[in-house]
Every structure is written in C-alpha cells, then in structure tokens.
Amino acid sequence: MSTLAIEGMQWGDEGKGKITDYFASKAEIVVRSQGGNNAGHSIEHSGVRYALRLLPSGILNENVINVLADGMVINPFCLLEEMENMKNRGVKFHLILSKRAVLLLPYHIELDKARENALGDKKIGTTKNGIGPCYEDKAARLSIRVGDLLEPSYLRERLETVLPIKNLQLKAFGGQEMDLEELYASLLKVREQVKDYIVDTTRFLLDAIKEDKKVLFEGAQGAMLCLTYGTFPYVTSSSPLVTAIPNNTGLPLNSVQTVLGIMKAYTTRVGEGPFPSEIDGDIAKKIRDEGHEYGTVTKRPRRVGWLDIPQLKYVCEISGIHHVALMLLDVLRVVDEISICTEYRLDGKKIDYMPSTVSELEKVKPVFITLPSWKEDISKVRKFEDLPLNCQNYIQKIEELLGVDIDIISVSPDKEATIIRKELF
C-alpha cells in the first residue's frame, strides 16, 4: 500500500508520535493537514530528542519531503523557531508549505487567551495557541494566507482590511491593540526566511499520488477533539479525522488507502469536557505517573480513565478504522485490575453507543467489566505470544469488543519496543 493515514482515536496524546516516526522512515512524503502548534510531540533520532509542534515527523529524514498542507494554521514565528532549531543541529530537511494554509498571528493568541478568561469556569481549556480564533478568521474570510507572503503589496492590503477588525475585538476584551506597521515589518522578515518553501502543495500531492509515491498522512490531536464529531464545545477547531484529509490536502477521496487508528491502552484527556470513563484517586495517579501523562505543550496533568468501548466503536465507525496500534500497554502493570467501559447507562437505560450531545454525555454512567492485570515487565517482548497471558487476554478482549485487528502493540517508549503483527505500509 502506498498511502497510510494515522488517526488518534481518543482525545489526543495517544502516542501517535512513536508510530508516525516508524512509518515516516518508510515514507517518501509526510503530510500534516490540519491543526497547528497546539500539537506537540518529541521524537528521538540518532540519540537526540527533538520537540516538534508544526513540523511533520519526516523532518529528520533527509529523503522525505515534508508537507504542511492546505488545512493547517501556521504560526510563522513558531515555524521559524522549529526550522532554526533543526538548522542549528545540522539537520538537513525538505519542507514545503501550502499557499492555501492560513497564518496564525499574534492577535489570534491574544484573542484565544482573552476568551478563555472571559468564559471563566465554562472555558474550553484550550492550549492558548490561538487555534480557535485563527480558524474563525478562515470561516469569516479574514485570514491572511501563507501564499500572501509572496506578494508584499497584497499582504499589506490584507492587513489593512483585517487588522482594524481584530483590533476592535482585542479592545472589546480589554486587550492591547496591534500596530499594523510592526506586524507588517515582522511578516516581511518572516517572508525572507520562508518564501522558498511556499508552493501549491495540492499540485505537488496530486502529482505524487499519480506517481504512486509512498505518502504518510500523519495525525494530530484525536478524533474526540473533532469540531463536528467530538465532544463539542470541548473540542479543537478543526477535524483530526482521516475523513477530513481530502478536504485539507486537495486530494480525492480514494487517496487514503490504509487507515491506522492509534489508541492508548487506557484513556486520557487534557482540558475540560465530558469523559465518561474517567477515574480519579490512587489508580489514576499510578497510571498518570507511570505513563508520564503530563501535557507536552502545556505540561498540564492529563485526566485519566479506562478504555471506553462505545467511544472507540463510534470512532472506528465514523473513520472506517480496521487496523489499530495499541500504545502504552506496559503502563497497566502498575494496577492489579483493568476495567473496560463496555456500555453506558443513560437515564437508567443501557446504551452501547456514544450520545451526540454534551448534556447526554455528562449524564451517562459507564458500565465496566474488569480483567486481571499482569506484573511482568513486557518492554523486551517482541512477539504477541510471548506476552503474559493476562496481557494477551486484554488485547483479545479489545479486538473482540471493537471488531478491529490490533496490528501494532507498543510495550515501552523505545523505538524498538514494538510488536508488529502486520506490516501496513
């Protein structure tokens, strides 16, 4: 198969980075298609750790062309910092930026922070990177696009149109208004450093698909953070679903040949919003500490819960997931018993699907089954059959409940600590 798309199946932070790196080393092209620097993961290459926010995971591989595609929101200052960091460490990379992607600018960040403050205890719990206000501008047709950097006079014209409106909003929130000349000058500086990377990535990708190039579509965030299909309003402002890839890259529907869902062996979420299988207390703390469940971007402690089958089944259905990578399985040896939420009770009635509104989701009571855990260190295991029996049983139970194949199992953060049951790419 020459194209593979990766999707986080929960609320993000499923461990996509490790699997993406694995597949990026086999790819010719790695594409990020939505979101911005709200994402974050670190990858290890030749013993050095790199923190990536915007750059795709193929960036450390000289033979890979990395694409920031049309659906992205790109903070140019953050991008330059990441590119500088690569250059300073002697990394030679290939990167192209979509002319159609939009710029995430300082006023988006200010507006994100101001609105979160104004929402008080109803806040979304965003990463405060300006993602929501930036996508709002796209829908409002007020964005400055990456391609505008190539035409300074048009860039200035756009700023003259857009900035007065942004300043009105900033003023309404009691924030500092922004100066057009300063912003324009800073964007001209950015332009000098990025102009050679800006192309029509749609054209590039259409040709790549025709030439049967190996393309990896990496995922960012998780399905439950999808603006439409997630736990609205506690979601991000784009769609992390693989079904959004065509619309965010300009590629036709059939360009995604294989879909790989990534899920943790338990569930986490950062930020506010419903989380039916959430747990707290001692068990949650043990899992959080063992799994290092603290935000990569914000360092916030992540909320922890058991696997939620109605939630995962819903994501398999809407995204057409048949292949799954199960991550952080090793973490669960710190508990004696593992629970799985198999269905919910809503107003006293059993339901096996995920309701579509937050008010229903806040009311549902999870129904759990419990399985025994294992105490063995599984980090050196490379074959499914060599896993402790209770561990095998847990995996088979998930496969049975979800009706998917768990083709990849991660048994520790190390690159090699992976059980590959089927080659997908």
Contact residues for ligand IMP, defined by CB under 6 A: 12-13, 38-39, 124-127, 129, 131-132, 220-221, 225, 236-237, 270-271
> DSSP for 126-162?
--SSSHHHHHHHHHTT-PPBGGGGG-HHHHHHHHHHH
CA–CA separation, 75 vs 105, rounded Å? 6
Q: Closest CB to ligand IMP among 299 and 422?
A: 299
Q: Is 347 a catalytic residue?
A: no
Q: Closest CB to ligand IMP among 94 and 115?
A: 115
Cα distances (angstroms) measured from residue 309 to each of 91, 304, 313, 348: 42, 15, 6, 19
CA–CA separation, 99 vs 102, rounded Å? 8
Residues 259 and 242: beta-carbon distance below 8 Å: yes
CB of 270 to ligand IMP, least distance (A): 4
DSSP 404: -
Q: Is 292 a catalytic residue?
A: no
- Residue of minimal Cβ distance to ligand IMP: 271
Cα distances (angstroms) measured from residue 86 to each of 24, 42, 83, 248, 362: 17, 13, 5, 26, 44
Q: Closest CB to ligand IMP among 236 and 410?
A: 236
CB 378: neighbour CB atoms within 10 A? 19
CA–CA separation, 282 vs 290, rounded Å? 12
CB of 108 to ligand IMP, least distance (A): 10
Q: Closest CB to ligand IMP among 12 and 366?
A: 12
CB of 41 to ligand IMP, least distance (A): 8
Q: Closest CB to ligand IMP among 129 and 255?
A: 129
Which residue out of 21, 41, 70, 148 is catalytically annotated?
41
In the beta sheet, which residues pair with residue 264?
327
- Give the residue numbers annotated as catalytic, written as ranges: 13, 41
